[in-house]
Amino acid sequence: MQHNTGQFEEELKMTKEQLDMTQEERDRACDELREMKIVAQEANMNLSERLSSLMVEEANAEINTVKEFLSNSKKELNMKEENIESLKFELDKAKQFEVILAERDVSFDRLKEEFSNLKASEARAMGLLFESKKRIQELEDEIGRGNLSKTKMIDSVVSQTKQLEQTKIELEESKLEVVCLHEKIAKLKVSPRECKRDLGGACNHEDLDSTKEAFESLSSELQLMKENLARSQDSEKVASSKAKSLIEEMNLLKSELTLAIEAEEKSKKAMDDLALAIKEVATEAKQVKEKLGSTELELEHVKQEAEQLKVMVRSTEERYQKLLDEAKKENEQYKNTVERLRLEAEESLLAWNDKEIEFVNCIRRAEDDRTVAQEENTRLIESLKATENTITASREENFKLRDILKQALNEANVAKEAAAIAREENSQLKDSHAEKDEALDFLARENERLRINEAAAQQSIKELKWLLSVASAKEESKTEEGKEHGVIFKPASSTAEKIEDRKNLNKAFSFDLSELKFPIELEDVNEKVVDEDPVKAEALKGSIFDTVDSPMSEPHTPLHRRVSSLFTDDGEIIIHSEDLDHLEGAHLDDAEHDRNSQRKRKALLYRFGDLLKRKNLHKKEASVE
């Protein structure tokens, strides 16, 4: 196979070299054709310049024939190129088949190696199976021998147990006999004493002899029985030791049996595993055999394809040879035609050398005219380009100016709208500013009136304090004089005197309550604003005018109540000595209230400034928009 592939590669190399040679010849023929075309073109130019009309017609006919010949040669060259491309395609196919053959060879070698490995593993598995079978047979023989020894041991144990039982029975019988003999001996020992006691020594000598003989016989039997007992005990010990040894042997045999059973189970498992492995190996071997069969079939197909390719290569070589011969013949024809055309060109050159000067002069004049016309054309083209550039520039400027005008109109419209909006906002702001100025003036007047009222109240409080101190001093002096004289006044007269004193004081230091009344004009103004313009009222919501307390707020009302408590229905002052401390506290509260009012004024001014800033910002934003 490798030899065939080597030959095939050599043949392919030869065909490649032949293809390269044909391509070189084709390139050479193309170069010659190009040279011929150039020569023909030169001849055409010369002929068109030099020959007359008749010669031109003849030359045109010859040129047409040459063109037809060239077109035919081009067609033949195209056919040859197509044949070369088809041969290249077939060569590529042959190369692909070579690659496929190499891959198949590699896969075939790999399959052979796998098959050999499978055979080796199968042989190893068979050897292991044979060894496991031998081991199983040995274990079965050992199990049979163990079973036989087990039955023998069981029989011997049974016989020895029977002997032990018999010996135990004999021992018990001997023990009973010994007991009976002991009883008889005891009776015999007791009977001569009783006889002696009963008879007082009147027994016969014969009876004593008989009893002695019986005693001796019994003692001899006793010794015999003791010996039998000792012998039976020894035999029992021996039997028990034998039984123990037999039991130990039984246990050993049982353990060996269990080990043999476990080994048998393990061997069975190993046999099962081996059987499975053998089955797997057999299936793999079948698969490998099938693969080998398929690869052999593929190899046969590949061989057939290789033979077909060899036939194709041979046919292509023959075709190449034919094409080469045809190309050589055509090259010779081309050479002959080229030589003929060269000779004709030389003859035409020699024939028309005389007319060449006239044609050259005509050509020079025509060239001069052409150069002048070209210069004029270039000038005209440049002027046209300049005018076109100016036109395009003017158009662009016009478009830009139109865009600028449109933008300016849009901006003017926007500015007009913004100016109208700004005017409306300015008018609104002026109105709101005027209203706020009026409110500020009103607040300033109210603050001045409050300060004046506060100063008047403080002066009245000072005068009241002075009067209270004078009145308290008079009362103290009167009480001291009364104590000194020992006079006790009645309560009715004392109260009447007090009332008269108070009336006198009221007459002396009376002033009207209308002076201390606080104006309630701010609330009326706010109500008017809400009734007249609700839009302004909503704009002032949340502002300083909505949060600041009015003069008639809670801090003033307690003072009014406190002050009003000092006056009677006639509008005159009633001074109670108990209320002096309360008045001092009220004075302190008034001072704190002044501080709070100053803080509120500052907050009011700060918020008013914020409101003006916001309005200015709104104006700027509207103007920007």
Per-residue model confidence as pLDDT tens digits over 28-70: 766 766 776 676 677 667 666 665 555 556 656 766 776 677 6
Rounded to whole angstroms, the maximal C-alpha distance in the chain is 216
What whole-number distance in Å separates Cα of residue 227 and Cα of residue 217?
A: 15
Q: Among 27-31, 365-369, 409-413, 485-489, name the one with the lowest average pLDDT.
A: 485-489
What whole-number distance in Å separates Cα of residue 471 and Cα of residue 505?
A: 9
Q: How many other CB atoms are found less than 10 A from the CB of residue 59? A: 20
Q: How many other CB atoms are found less than 10 A from the CB of residue 261? A: 12
- Please state the pTM of the whole predicted model: 0.27
What's the CA dihedral at 84, 89, 90, 91 to 10 degrees? Answer: 90
Which of 9-13, 56-60, 425-429, 607-611 shows the highest mean pLDDT? Answer: 425-429
Does 399 have pLDDT greater than 80? yes
pLDDT at residue 485, rounded to an integer: 56
What whole-number distance in Å separates Cα of residue 274 and Cα of residue 272?
A: 5
- Contact 422/622 with Cβ under 8 angstroms? yes
> What percentage of the chain has pLDDT greater than the value 90?
0
Three-state secondary-structure class, residue 573: strand
Does 192 have pLDDT greater than 70? no
Angle between helices 356-485 and 521-532 (to 10 degrees): 150
What whole-number distance in Å separates Cα of residue 523 and Cα of residue 556?
A: 15
Place of tokens 């014969």: 206
Q: First and final CA of the chain: distance in angstroms?
A: 96
Q: What are phi and psi of 52, to 5 degrees?
A: -85, -175
- Contact 136/267 with Cβ under 8 angstroms? yes
What whole-number distance in Å separates Cα of residue 230 and Cα of residue 222?
A: 12
What whole-number distance in Å separates Cα of residue 335 and Cα of residue 187?
A: 171
Q: Which amino acid is at 352?
A: W
pLDDT at residue 36, rounded to an integer: 66
Burial class (CB in 10 A: 0-12, 13-18, 19+), 192: middle
Mark 500-531 as b/e (b = at least 16 C-beta within 10 Å): eebeebbeeeeeeeeebebbeebeeebeebee
Does 224 have pLDDT greater than 60? yes
What whole-number distance in Å separates Cα of residue 236 and Cα of residue 229?
A: 10
- Contact 324/26 with Cβ under 8 angstroms? no
Does 528 have pLDDT greater than 80? no
Q: Give the model's confidence band at 524: pLDDT under 50 very low, under 70 low, under 90 confident, else very high.
A: very low
Q: Give the model's confidence band at 544: pLDDT under 50 very low, under 70 low, under 90 confident, else very high.
A: very low
Q: Among 95-104, 480-489, 547-556, name the one with the lowest average pLDDT.
A: 547-556
Q: What are phi and psi of 324, to 5 degrees?
A: -65, -45
Q: What are phi and psi of 171, to 5 degrees?
A: -60, -45
Burial class (CB in 10 A: 0-12, 13-18, 19+), 232: buried
pLDDT at residue 102, rounded to an integer: 75
Does 162 have pLDDT greater than 60? yes
> Torsion-angle region of residue 542: left (phi > 0), alpha (psi -120 to 50) or beta?
left
**How many CA within 13 A on the CB side of residue 507?**
5
What's the CA dihedral at 14, 19, 21, 23 to 10 degrees? Answer: -170
Q: For the segment 300-330, what is each residue's pLDDT rounded down to a tens digit? A: 777 787 677 778 777 777 877 787 777 778 7
Tokens describing residue 323: 């094409």
String of DSSP letters for 564-608: HTTB-TTS-B---GGGHHHHHHHHHHHHHHHHHHHHHHHHHHHHH
pLDDT at residue 567, rounded to an integer: 41
Q: What are phi and psi of 573, to 5 degrees?
A: -85, 135
Stated as kind and residue range, the H or E segment containing 488 is none
- Contact 579/566 with Cβ under 8 angstroms? yes
Better-scored residue on pLDDT, 601 or 196: 601
Q: CA separation (Å) from 469 to 276, 475, 545, 580? A: 135, 10, 45, 10
The pLDDT of 592-605, averaged and rounded, is 68
Three-state secondary-structure class, residue 489: coil
**Interacting residues of 146 by C-beta distance below 8 A, sequence separation 6+:** 253, 256, 257, 260
Three-state secondary-structure class, residue 167: helix
Does 556 have pLDDT greater than 80? no
Mean pLDDT, rounded, of the chain: 68
The pLDDT of 360-365, averaged and rounded, is 75
Better-scored residue on pLDDT, 545 or 20: 20
Does 281 have pLDDT greater than 70? yes
Three-state secondary-structure class, residue 567: strand
Q: Give the model's confidence band at 110: pLDDT under 50 very low, under 70 low, under 90 confident, else very high.
A: confident
Q: How many other CB atoms are found less than 10 A from the CB of residue 118? A: 17
- Contact 36/341 with Cβ under 8 angstroms? yes
**How many CA within 13 A on the CB side of residue 236?**
14
- Contact 502/568 with Cβ under 8 angstroms? no
Does 109 have pLDDT greater than 80? no
Domains of the chain, first to last: 2-351 (1.10.287.950), 434-624 (no CATH)
Q: CA separation (Å) from 605 to 35, 443, 544, 548, 600? A: 108, 11, 8, 11, 9
Place of tokens 């307690």: 558
Q: Which amino acid is at 604?
A: L
Q: Which residue from 100, 90, 72 is spatially nearest to 19, judged by alpha carbons?
A: 90
